[in-house]
């Protein structure tokens, strides 16, 4: 098969996916807004009546507490981790871009990590569309 035709087909499919995703994101945002309004009304009702659960024939709405934590000052938080040895408070993953840059800047250092490199194809749009 002609390479040009393969690349053109790839670009066309990618564009179709992007258009579909954009349309989905717009419609999803509208649905989320409506759901947020309903959620607020249910929270108001549960607070007004002192209930943690609202059972209906259509389903049950439960009021739950969700807590999210973040560190506005990473230097202070790192110091806290060092003082308490609480590194298990962090998620264990490597920042891919920063780690790649570190390895490129420090070619003589061999950190204890595994690496998986694979070839892939990246297609960029040409002048013809």
pLDDT band at 129; cut points 50, 70, 90: low
Cα pseudo-dihedral 114, 119, 122, 128, rounded to 10: 170
Segment 92-110 shows an average pLDDT of 94
Segment 11-37 shows an average pLDDT of 97
Token pair, residue 50, equals: 């002192």
The mean-pLDDT minimum among 13-17, 26-30, 114-118 falls in 114-118
Averaged pLDDT of the chain: 93
- Closest by CA position to 124, among listed 2, 5, 3, 8: 8
Integer-rounded Cα radius of gyration of the chain: 25
What pLDDT, in 10s, does the model give residues 7-19?
Answer: 999 999 999 999 9
> Does the predicted TM-score (pTM) go above 0.85?
no
pLDDT at site 24: 98
């Amino acid at each position: 098969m002609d390479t040009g035709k393969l690349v053109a087909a790839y670009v066309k499919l990618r564009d179709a996916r992007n258009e579909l995703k954009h349309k989905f994101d717009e419609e999803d945002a509208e649905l989320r807004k409506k759901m947020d309004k309903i959620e607020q009304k249910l929270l108001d009702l549960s607070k007004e009546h002192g209930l943690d659960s609202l059972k209906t024939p259509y389903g049950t709405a439960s009021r739950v507490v969700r807590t999210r934590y973040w560190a506005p000052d990473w230097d202070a938080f790192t110091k806290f981790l060092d003082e308490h040895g609480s590194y298990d408070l962090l998620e264990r993953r490597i920042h891919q871009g920063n780690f790649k840059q570190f390895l490129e800047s420090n070619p003589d250092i061999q950190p204890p990590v595994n690496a998986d490199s694979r070839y892939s194809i990246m297609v960029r749009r040409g002048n013809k569309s």
